[in-house]
Structure 1
Amino acid sequence: MDTEPSPAGAGRPDGPAVRLGALVPLTPPGWTDAGRHLLAGLDMAVDEVNAAGGVDGRPLELTVRDTAADPHRAEAVVDELAALGVSALAGEYHSVAARAAATRAEALGVPFLCSSAVLDALTGQPTESIARIAPAQSHGWRLYADFLLGAGHRRIAVATEPGAYWASGAGILRDHLAPHGGTVVRLDARTLTPDAVCDALAGSGATALLLLVGSPEPAVSIVRSVRGDRRLSGILIGAPAGQPEFGSWAASLGSDGAAIPFLRYLPERLGPLGARVEKDLRERLGEAPSFVALEGYDTVTVLAHVLRSHGADRARVAAAWPGVSVEGTRGLIRFSRTPGIGVRQWAWAPVQVADRDPSDPGRFRVLHTG
């Protein structure tokens, strides 16, 4: 689908639009809540850019395509958007889809600013044309492992599904916990029913179960089974991938979905820009915006700055990443080379471990920051 450009009016830009391509998971098996929030942030920033005169008097236009978290579909979307003449690509939440999109964008010479996907190996080799706003998975998940250690958890069970993102996350946890005497027990969520996960967990000696699985299913069913099993009343359930961030989690699970720590990329307190954007996004979404919505807003804010300062030529946009210094909703965004990561990286967006308050599942508690 194409978003409509902002209507003409006093102070509004006109002339040929500068087009951005947006990759967003809008249908299952993509996490559609994340896609909806990401698109809201992208859209709102485009509207604000155009209200401020656009890009050198030209309107900024967002051309949106659904990836559905499918890497093959993501590649096809990049081909389509490149042929439409977009100056740059933005968005994507799912790491495997983002990796496919980044590889194809690199091959076609289209700059891509990834909003939310965190897989360290976003590209197979270092590239100059891809940059990322979200922190790398290793950065956030190590902090999550520190949280577990600080809470006294040394033997951790992970209910996991196949996939590069889940395998990478389990490996990060294992490698970070091992020097501290920690171990990771793997439970295959593809072959075990939720009740069988409970049986395996009860005999594992683990004090925490992490959900390295998709949402809503099988994550919601596993939580219900664990919460209803008296043998597991002392088990911490965790979800480092962020499933409890979204309103559908609380709607599905109610109080059972509380006290499940997850990663979110927010400071403890937003500054003036972040607070204003959060308020406006809340009105746009009809619910509290997630950090993913702020990532979308920040992505377009950075791209608009680059387009104004370097023009809409793809090569010039890609060459601009090292010089970016833009105030975003969660801090000053700059891109650098980070060891082990092939793309230009904002190092780092603020990270916190949070959960939903058992006394009020609509409220979040910050448990750990880094």
Structure 2
Amino acid sequence: MAGMITLGALAPLTRPGWTDAGRHLLAGLELAVREVNDAGGIAGTPLGLIVRDTGADPAKAEAAVDELAGLGVAALAGEYHSVVARAAATRADALGVPFLCSSAVLDTLTPRPTDLVARLSPPQSRGWRTYADHLLAAGHRRIAVVAQPSAYWDAGTRVLRDHLTPRGAGLTVLDPAADVCDALVAHRATALLLLTGSPDPAVGIIRAVRRDDRLTGVLLGAPAGQPEFLGDDGTGIPFLRYLPDQLTPLGTRVEATLRHHLGEAPSFVAFEGYDTVLVLTESLRTATSWAHLSVPGTRGPITFSPDPATGLWQWPQAPLQVAEREPSGHVRVLRTG
């Protein structure tokens, strides 16, 4: 795009990616780019967005990073899936392209600390420990997870087990290919966490458990946030989302615009996309490193510091909630962390 400063955007827009998340992420990115340009661009130069679909495929994401770097983008933005974001971040670092990851939470996104990669969402260890605390406070001590093979789900399972076990709770991992309902009965579990893709096989498992009279009262949970995009199937299932108790005035305005554009309430992922462009725009406008940025975002003031455990540049005050969707569509906040 001649005469423009361009950002490369990565998002899951086709299956097996979580396409609803990709759609919300892209809506936030695109709205922010339009508003930056309406305000005069970056020192008078328009901001452009080159979008590439990752489809939840790490190899596809790496190829997209190579292509976008070759096109001369000033920075990379986006991505929702953690394993995909890790591949993209590692490749971006190798090529010397800044990457602000919007939504992925896997604690370690690059094999080494780097000044090129930063993240807006809270790390998985923080969010999933908060989720485990919610389960404990609700009295659950026999917890099962149905988990698909994945570095992300494996990491989440470890976080849960390491937090729950010392506090007197047991965690059982179920095979998604087996009869989950029979296994829940056998283990006398009071909660089942869905560490699976959305909508498949998550929706099938939800419906099977809810139809089984033996499992009345078993809590269904999804720390990764699937219920955000599951409609009626997602009601009554606690999930993690990255929103504050109250949006900033900017966030309130952006929420109304995104709602009109999307035809539904924007998820936290849409706000992450919007905030990503705000941060990158300020960084490009001022030639400022992550360490010295301070950007008024939709969900609060955004600054960055290196995570003590991984060295990754991180928004340490990123908001976090355990929430559930009621049959009315209203989202009820159960815990903040």
- TM-score of the superposition, structure 2-length normalised? 0.98
The code of the aligned residue for 1:324 comes to L
1:46-61 aligned within 5 A:
46-61=33-48
Q: Is this contact kept in 1: 2:122–2:318, CA < 8 A? A: yes
1:355 alignment partner in structure 2: 324
Query: Structure 1 residue 342: deviation in Å?
Result: 3.4
1:1-370 aligned within 5 A:
16-189=3-176, 191-192=177-178, 196-246=179-229, 249-250=230-231, 254=232, 256-310=233-287, 320-358=289-327, 360=328, 362-370=329-337
Q: Is this contact kept in 2: 1:198–1:225, CA < 8 A? A: yes
Identical amino acids, percent of aligned pairs: 66
Secondary structure of 2:140's counterpart equals: coil
CA distance in 1, matches of 2:202, 2:317: 28
- Once the two structures are overlaid, the 10-residue window that deviates more, 332-341 or 74-83, is 332-341
Query: Structure 1 residue 348: deviation in Å?
Result: 2.7
CA distance in 1, matches of 2:36, 2:225: 30
CA distance in 2, matches of 1:257, 1:17: 42
CA deviations on 1:306-364 (whole Å, 9 max, x unpaired) are 11111xxxxxx6xx111011011111111101122232000131111110113x1x111
CA deviations on 1:98-148 (whole Å, 9 max, x unpaired) are 000001000000000000000001111111100000110001110000100
1:314 alignment partner in structure 2: none
- TM-score of the superposition, structure 1-length normalised? 0.90
The code of the aligned residue for 1:231 comes to R
Secondary structure of 1:148's counterpart equals: helix
Q: Is this contact kept in 2: 1:98–1:122, CA < 8 A? A: yes
CA distance in 1, matches of 2:115, 2:36: 26
Query: Structure 1 residue 270: deviation in Å?
Result: 1.3
Query: Structure 1 residue 182: deviation in Å?
Result: 1.1
CA distance in 2, matches of 1:269, 1:205: 39
CA distance in 1, matches of 2:311, 2:77: 17
CA deviations on 1:293-318 (whole Å, 9 max, x unpaired) are 000000000011111111xxxxxx6x
The code of the aligned residue for 2:73 comes to V
Q: Is this contact kept in 2: 1:124–1:342, CA < 8 A? A: no
Query: Structure 1 residue 214: deviation in Å?
Result: 0.2
CA distance in 2, matches of 1:68, 1:286: 23
Aligned residues between the structures? 337
CA distance in 1, matches of 2:310, 2:263: 36
Secondary structure of 2:330's counterpart equals: strand
Secondary structure of 1:216's counterpart equals: coil
CA deviations on 1:45-74 (whole Å, 9 max, x unpaired) are 000000000001000000000000100000
The code of the aligned residue for 1:366 comes to V
CA RMSD between the two structures: 1.1
CA distance in 1, matches of 2:91, 2:56: 15
Query: Structure 1 residue 39: deviation in Å?
Result: 0.2
Secondary structure of 1:158's counterpart equals: strand
CA distance in 2, matches of 1:239, 1:90: 26
CA distance in 2, matches of 1:54, 1:282: 24
Q: Is this contact kept in 2: 1:25–1:31, CA < 8 A? A: yes
CA deviations on 1:208-267 (whole Å, 9 max, x unpaired) are 000000000000000000000000001000000000112xx11xxx2x531100000001
After TM superposition, the runs of 4+ consecutive aligned structure 1 residues lying more than 2 A away are none
Q: Is this contact kept in 1: 2:226–2:234, CA < 8 A? A: no
Q: Is this contact kept in 2: 1:122–1:342, CA < 8 A? A: no
Q: Is this contact kept in 1: 2:228–2:234, CA < 8 A? A: no
Q: Is this contact kept in 1: 2:248–2:297, CA < 8 A? A: no
